[in-house]
Structure 1
Amino acid sequence: MGNMGPVLPRPGFLETLRKITQENGVILIFDEVITGFRIALGGAQEYFRIRPDMTVLGKILGGGLPIAAFGGRREIMEKLAPLGGVYQAGTYSGNPVSVAASLAALQSLKRRARQLYPKLEKTGEQVRRGISDFIGSANLAAQVSGLSSMFQIFFTDHAVTDYDSAKKSDTTRFNKYFQSLLASRVFVPPSQFETCFLATSHNDDEIQVTLEAIGSALSKLSA
């Protein structure tokens, strides 16, 4: 999950979900609006090696331009018009500028995937490990969660495994953390329930500055 901060699936959860849906003839849909292309070229389904029946993607597909897409198994997609009887259309469907941007983004990602994703994985691990060390040094009731290019600090000492446990986070403390980072000229999403993303354009100096700002912000919270 990513729309409440990065909450990782428990071991075996996705495998069990895939097994149950297959046994009962239920279509398994992966919402990859957040995870698509950010953690692997094939998104979370590639990262966790689970193949859904359908996938939903968002604006990252267009390199930031407004676009959304869905796809799935051939026998499902052939239910859509003009091959099938399910009509699907929209005023902005197939916008040529967004589609051209999407094709360019996909071609670029595919061409550079072997370099991009290992770098994101390495940088993400560096950031999460650094934050975890800061939390320990400050003795805060907090934890860092994420994978690959995604991370977030949850200000709670409870394990964050779902929406209910994420809601137990201290949003007042998060706001102080956010304001401290902003004062250090480091901008992260202004909500406890958002996800921070790393990009391959972030260089080593920027990562170091970010970690130093996070360390300072967490230290102030423990004072």
Structure 2
Amino acid sequence: MKTTRSAKLFAEAQTLIPGGVNSPVRAFRSVGGQPRFITRAKGSRLYDVDGNRYLDYVLSWGPMILGHAAPAVISAIKKAAGQGTSYGAPTELEVALAKEIRAAVPSMEKIRLVSSGTEAVMSAIRVARAFTKRDGVLKFEGCYHGHSDYLLAKAGSGLATLGIPDSPGVPADFAKHTLTAPYNDIRTVQQLVKEHHRELACIILEPIAGNMGVVPPAPDFLAALRQLTADHDMLLIFDEVISGFRVRYGGAQALYGIQPDLTILGKIIGGGLPVGAYGGRAEIMDLIAPSGPVYQAGTLSGNPLAVTAGLATLKQLRARGVYKELEERSAALARGIGGAAKKAGIPLTQTRVGSMLTAFFTPGPVVDWDTAKRSDTKRYGTFFHLMLEQGVYLAPSQFEAAFLSTAHTSADIDKTIKAAATAFKKL
């Protein structure tokens, strides 16, 4: 597979951009080799500058649930762009998206649109602190909530990929307000809350962890957190940037029947354009300016192109049978890969919730960050490149999720399983 132009671009990019990329995991550091520079995408396929074609399971890290360049979304964006790209003033579109989100996620009684998941998390934590009049935050090891200072302690995603436990540049005075616990370990959480409940404003988590690879919540884990926070007048925050509208139309909270106090959304609600949102109980959200004293603002918040793309995407997802089809094809892919690994004698643990899944190179089980990081990352790197050479684009990190879209066909699934079988034989 020829990669000459990608290599040349990457060499030039490294003289201009730190590490040659604008988000760390794209640099292929944990799998080796060099990144492929993408020139276009359509449906379930990516195309690079050297003319190579790939079957894509990254999907821009999750938002492209309809596949790339979905006709209904592109058409809506083109029409919106012709009317202007940003106004810095309210639009009817913002109201429409907020109504759509609230109908799907009833716990979000009021919603504020922002431009990224990191911004949404930062703002949700701020209002949680204001509401409770406490400073402390409890998060979980391996859960990534964006790169705001106080949430980078033992975060997943890119930090896990690069082997960075915490980030330099974060003052100790910021980090001291953040407690961490193992994911799915309710006893440790209960002990920490017992010791620190007077200082804790909230517990924040991904209800389905997706940034240390996919790790589902243990039975009753979310319910126990809901009860614990209620008992101690703390807020429960679900970071559904990944799982929102991915595992079900109403997100993980609809799937598991647990309502948090605040929810963070992103990715799918922007249809592939930059967006974030946070929302929750009206009495909490009414503390945000201009209704209340908690300040948060953004020039591009509620950007008409992003909101238009989000509305067009959600309209398609409301169609009957969409999530059923995603479930069936995701299950078929997982079964096929699992069977191929078993036949080749490769120890593999697969985790999956709906159309987000991970194949960990470990005999498992994988229930938290400690068990996830036992994976053989070197073997995953070899597997990644063997798949890439066969035209299958997976996440360039063991500790990320794979995603399916409605554009992935049964033929795509079959091709991927065959490619995996070939790769496993060479490991």
Give TM-score scaled by structure 1 length: 0.94
Match of 2:402 in 1: 196
1:63 corresponds, among 266, 271, 287, to 271
Q: Does 1:4 align with 2:212?
A: yes
Compute the TM-score of the two structures, normalised by the length of structure 2.
0.50
State the match for 1:133 in structure 2.
339
Query: d(CA) in 1 for partners of 2:226 and 2:261?
Result: 9
In structure 2, distance between residues paired with 1:8 and 1:215 = 26
Radius of gyration: which is bigger? Answer: 2
Q: 1:135 and 1:16 mapped to 2: Cα distance?
A: 35
Q: Considering only aligned residues, what root-mean-square deviation do their CA atoms show, in Å? A: 1.2
* Equivalent residue for 1:28, pick from 216, 228, 236: 236
What's the offset of the Cα at 1:97?
A: 1.4
Contact 1:125 1:147 in 2 (8 A): no
Give structure 1 stretches of 5+ with no counterpart: none
Contact 2:270 2:310 in 1 (8 A): yes
Structure 1 residues 219 and 49: alpha-carbon distance in aligned structure 2, compared to 1, 3 A threshold: farther
Is 1:79 the counterpart of 2:287? The answer is yes
Question: 2-side partners of 1:214 and 1:73: how far apart?
Answer: 46
Matched residues in 2 for 1:215 and 1:22: separation?
Answer: 48
Q: How does 1:1-223 map to 2 (within 5 A)?
A: 1-110=209-318, 112=319, 114-221=320-427
Letter in 1 for 2:316: S
SS class of match (1:60): helix
**C-alpha distance in 2 between matches for 1:134 and 1:12:** 33
Task: Report deviation, 1:63.
Answer: 0.7
Q: Secondary structure at the match of 1:106?
A: helix
Deviation, 1:42, is 0.7
Q: Distance in 2 between matches of 1:219 and 1:148?
A: 28
**Matched residue type, 1:195:** A
**CA separation in 2, counterparts of 1:72 and 1:104?**
23
What number of residue pairs does the alignment pair up? 219
User: What stretches of structure 2 of length at least 5 have no aligned partner?
Assistant: 1-208
Greater helix content = 1
CA distance in 1, matches of 2:314, 2:410: 26
Alpha-carbon separation, structure 1, partners of 2:403 and 2:267? 15
Give the secondary structure class of the aligned counterpart of 2:351.
strand
Residues 7 and 162 in structure 1, CA contact (< 8 A), matched pair in contact too: yes
Whether the 8 Å contact between 2:340 and 2:417 is mirrored in structure 1 is no
Report the secondary structure of 2:365's partner residue: coil
Matched residue, 2:15: none
Cα separation, 2, equivalents of 1:158 and 1:203? 30
